[in-house]
Amino acid sequence: MDLETLHHEFSSAATEVLQEAAYVFVSPVEIQVHERPNAEERVRIRIPFISDRRKGGFEASATRDLCLKLNAEMLGAEDLEGMEGFQPSEVIGEVLNMVAGLTLSRILEEGETWELGVPETVLEGSFSNTCGDVGVELLLETEEGDCIELSLGVSE
Amino acid sequence: MGHKVVIVDDSGVTRKIIRKALHMIGLDIEALHECGNGEEALELIRQEPLDLLITDLNMPQMTGVELLKELHETRRAEGMKIIVITSDRNEERLEELQDLEVCAVLNKPFRPESLREAIVQKCHVE
């Protein structure tokens, strides 16, 4: 699987989902030069996938504050009722679920059947995604300066 | 007369989004239930006949496809309109849904207008 294509499709899918689902506009940030957000303060989610030709996983992390903003935007900012029972992991999990579905539909080959797992919270360890032979990491910054970290690992 | 509706999705956020979209499009609702997986939905449907089932596919315990197959095999889907809202864009799986009485499939993220179109034009529920 071509790394450049993987990066492009993953990045496009993430940008599209954040815009369409949460009206959040993001720009990619160079990971090397950006101060990596403190892992301990972030909510981290992983979604595994398997196809008949490969397997891998998606990960995302965001601060609780960003999850709250995403939740408000996804439900409509005026909907205070929607904040009841707010679960940051559920919000970032649902965003990642949409990103994963869209990305897989674009990167996997025609006729390749695949299954996406359910979102699971990553409880320990630093944010590292790359659970495969090929890995892509993205750091996307919102207009307000919040960052969402995303990664995708694929093994043939 | 209002409709009896169930939203089946393991994500509470998505259930709230769908609930809000249903209110926005002005569907006449008599009862609106929420379930976190297929098993809960099946239990509900066994107890109470429903008009509209809106379900995700990728859920723990019992997936949407397993739920729809069970409803199809036991003929509990008769008279009930089914809409799938999913992040799963796997062509093969979506083809599988055609044999399971599914009226419409929407990809996440979806817009309320798309849900309205699915309900009114594809499911013929007003």
| Residue-by-residue DSSP string for A72-141 | HHHH-TT-GGGGTT--HHHHHHHHHHHHHHHHHHHHSPTT--EEE---EE--SS-S----SSEEEEEEEE
User: What pLDDT sits at residue A89?
Assistant: 92
The full set of domain ranges for chain A reads: 3-155
In a domain, B62, yes or no: yes
In a domain, B126, yes or no: no
- pLDDT tens-digit profile, chain A (156 residues): 788 999 999 999 999 999 999 989 999 887 664 555 566 678 999 999 999 999 999 999 999 999 999 998 898 866 555 577 788 999 999 999 999 999 999 998 888 888 899 999 987 554 455 456 788 999 999 999 999 999 999 988
- The verdict on a CB contact (< 8 Å) between A82 and B16 is yes
In a domain, B33, yes or no: yes
Question: Whole-prediction pTM value?
Answer: 0.88
Query: What residues of B are in contact with residue A100 (Cβ under 8 Å)?
Result: 87
Contacts (Cβ under 8 Å, ≥6 apart) of A146: A62, A63, A65, A66, A69
Q: How confident is the model at residue B1 (pLDDT cuts 50, 70, 90)?
A: confident
- The verdict on a CB contact (< 8 Å) between B58 and A97 is yes
**Does B61 reach chain A within 8 Å, measured CB to CB?**
no
User: What pLDDT sits at residue B21?
Assistant: 93
Closest approach of B18 to chain A, Cα-based (Å)? 9
Nearest residue of A to residue B9, measured between CA atoms? A94
- CATH number of the domain within which B43 lies: 3.40.50.2300
In a domain, B11, yes or no: yes
- The verdict on a CB contact (< 8 Å) between A118 and B109 is no
CATH code assigned to A3-155: 3.40.1550.10
DSSP label of B31 = E
Instruction: Classify the phi-psi angles of B90: left when phi > 0, otherwise alpha if psi is within -120 to 50, otherwise beta.
Output: beta
- The verdict on a CB contact (< 8 Å) between B14 and A94 is yes
- The verdict on a CB contact (< 8 Å) between A90 and B13 is yes
Which tens digits make up the pLDDT trace of B10-55? Answer: 999 999 999 999 999 999 999 999 999 999 999 999 999 999 999 9
Nearest residue of A to residue B93, measured between CA atoms? A113
User: What pLDDT sits at residue A70?
Assistant: 92
Measuring CA to CA, how many Å separate A98 from each of A14, A60, A124, B44, B51?
8, 12, 24, 27, 27
